[in-house]
């Protein structure tokens, strides 16, 4: 895991439940067939849109002029190619980005994008897509939603560990024992490899190789109310969290794990267009 400093987001004040649908025009402004697929993850390309001052300044003028219902207006402004669509109530903007195309709506002085995989609306703030979820704000980063905590987020990256051929002899290197006396982590060798042992067995039983480059081992919990956790700090200023069995513990809130939660969406935001005009 690693800690990422992220500014506190400006949270939306109103929300309601909705399950919008998405569709795309069949052809672009030059008549060419659109082959791009819908973006399946929160589009990072939106940062380039937000940095484009000429694009932002032209939106309000377009909305006053382009009021024909169910019509696509095509633009290229400041290097940003996009479609403007008015459904009779709200204005939608569709953006190209490489092989993908995504719809976003500008509502309440902020941009919104619907994550269909996770069934939630995300809002753009300070360079990131955010979700207003259970207990507060979650930022989308490194292919997952991570809870905001005071000054930033803790991000876990997947890594493949190649364990050594065998565990080291017991009582070699630096040993750290859990407060309940049931687990022990040994850090050995020039590469500071960490090994987890079960001390309830005699002799202690090897459980798992945890990684290398370890600079510090800490334990927390170990009670009926707080299960034991193992925190390793590494030389590259990252860290990893494990349970008592040596299994990785992630703080990422993935879409598949939270489909039953209620997505926060802006007040009166309608679904995007469901069909191209005939």
User: Which position has the higher pLDDT, 42 or 253?
Assistant: 42
Q: Dump pLDDT digits (tens) for 230-258.
A: 888 888 766 777 889 988 765 444 443 33
In which band, very low, low, confident or very high, does the pLDDT at 186 lie, cut at 50, 70 and 90? Answer: very high
Calpha distance 173→169 (Å, rounded): 9
Which pLDDT score is estimated for 265? 38
Which pLDDT score is estimated for 7? 64
Overall size of the chain counted in residues: 278
Which pLDDT score is estimated for 266? 39
The yes-or-no verdict on residue 176 having pLDDT over 70 is yes
Q: What stretch of H or E contains 53?
A: helix 53-65
CB 91 within 8 A of CB 83: no
CB 210 within 8 A of CB 200: no
Mean pLDDT over 204-221 rounds to 87
Residue 258, preceding peptide bond in cis (omega within 30° of 0): no
Calpha distance 35→37 (Å, rounded): 7
Cα 82 to Cα 26, 61, 74, 102, distances in angstroms: 14, 15, 6, 10
pTM of this prediction? 0.55
Cβ atoms within 10 Å, residue 62: 16
Q: Sketch the domain layout of the chain as residue ranges.
A: 2-155, 174-243
Q: Dump pLDDT digits (tens) for 116-150.
A: 888 788 888 888 888 887 777 788 877 778 777 76
Residue 84 CB partners (closer than 8 Å, separation 6+): 62, 63, 66, 72, 73, 74, 75, 91, 92, 93
CB 123 within 8 A of CB 135: no
């Amino acid at each position: 895991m690693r800690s990422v400093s992220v500014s506190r987001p400006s949270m939306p004040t109103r929300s309601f439940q909705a399950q919008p649908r998405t569709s795309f025009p069949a052809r672009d402004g030059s008549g060419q067939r659109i082959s791009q697929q819908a973006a399946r993850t929160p589009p990072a390309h939106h940062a380039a849109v937000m940095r484009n001052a000429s694009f932002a300044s032209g939106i309000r003028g377009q909305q006053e002029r382009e009021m024909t219902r169910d019509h696509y207006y095509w633009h290229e402004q400041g290097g940003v190619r996009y479609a403007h669509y008015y459904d009779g109530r709200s204005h939608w903007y569709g953006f190209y980005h490489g092989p993908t195309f995504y719809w976003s709506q500008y509502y309440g002085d902020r941009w919104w994008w619907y994550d269909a995989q996770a069934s939630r609306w995300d809002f753009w703030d300070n360079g990131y897509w955010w979700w207003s979820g259970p207990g507060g704000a979650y930022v989308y980063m490194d292919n997952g939603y991570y809870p905001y905590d005071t000054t930033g987020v803790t991000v876990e990256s997947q890594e493949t560990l190649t364990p050594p051929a065998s565990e080291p002899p017991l009582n070699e290197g630096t040993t750290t024992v859990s407060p309940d006396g049931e687990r022990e982590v040994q850090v050995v060798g020039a590469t500071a490899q960490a090994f987890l042992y079960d001390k309830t067995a005699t002799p202690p039983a090897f459980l798992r190789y945890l990684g290398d480059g370890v600079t510090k081992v800490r334990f927390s919990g170990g009670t009926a109310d707080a299960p034991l956790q193992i925190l390793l700090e590494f030389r590259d200023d990252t860290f990893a969290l494990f349970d008592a069995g040596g299994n990785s513990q992630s703080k990422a809130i993935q879409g598949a794990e939270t489909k039953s939660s209620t997505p926060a969406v802006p007040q009166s935001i309608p679904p995007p267009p469901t069909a191209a005009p005939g």
